[in-house]
Amino acid sequence: MPRKWIDIPPLWLAAFLLLAWWQARHHPLGLSFGPVWADLLGGVMLGAGLLVMALAITEMRRNRTTIMPHGEATQLVTSGIFSRSRNPIYLADSLILTGLVLYWDAVPSLALVPIFVWVIEKRFIEKEEMFLRRKFVARYERYLQQTRRWL
């Protein structure tokens, strides 16, 4: 199976989620936010992540470009949720990870969130930005000045 179909963000997210779930289930270390706060905040973050992802995918489909990180973008999408974040799907992944870590009350696994963000930046975002910079030149430079990478 080609690497481009194995090395994708959803699999990285699944791996980090599995690690957080395992930690919560087998090594809670006696740390807890309390079920009410963890469930509420985790649910809000999970819901926000799913909403941001849906908005981003809808906007990319509307612009008829790929959502696959190894695919070639045919359009520079700067409208909708992309006017707020250059990487809303990766932002959504981070919100989903944080939300489920909180929901599972896996306090030590909160350390996985910045590690996940770093992995996503190094494995995907930096390469995508280099490609977009070469393909869309001045338009992409303007977009960089107007829109933050995450929020």
For residues 44-52, give the mean pLDDT: 98
Distance CA 88, CA 66 (A): 14
Helices (H), 27-125: 35-62, 88-103, 112-120
Q: What is the pLDDT of residue 35?
A: 73
Residues with Cβ within 8 Å of residue 29, at least 6 apart in sequence: 107, 108
Digit-coded pLDDT (tens) for 88-119? 999 999 999 999 999 998 889 999 999 999 99
SS3 (DSSP) at 69: coil
User: What is the model's pTM?
Assistant: 0.92
Q: What is the distance between the alpha carbons of residues 43 and 69, in angstroms, rounded to a whole number? A: 27
Alpha carbon 146 to its chain centroid, in Å, reads: 20
Residue carrying the six token digits 């990285």: 12
HSE on the CB side for 72, CA within 13 Å? Answer: 4
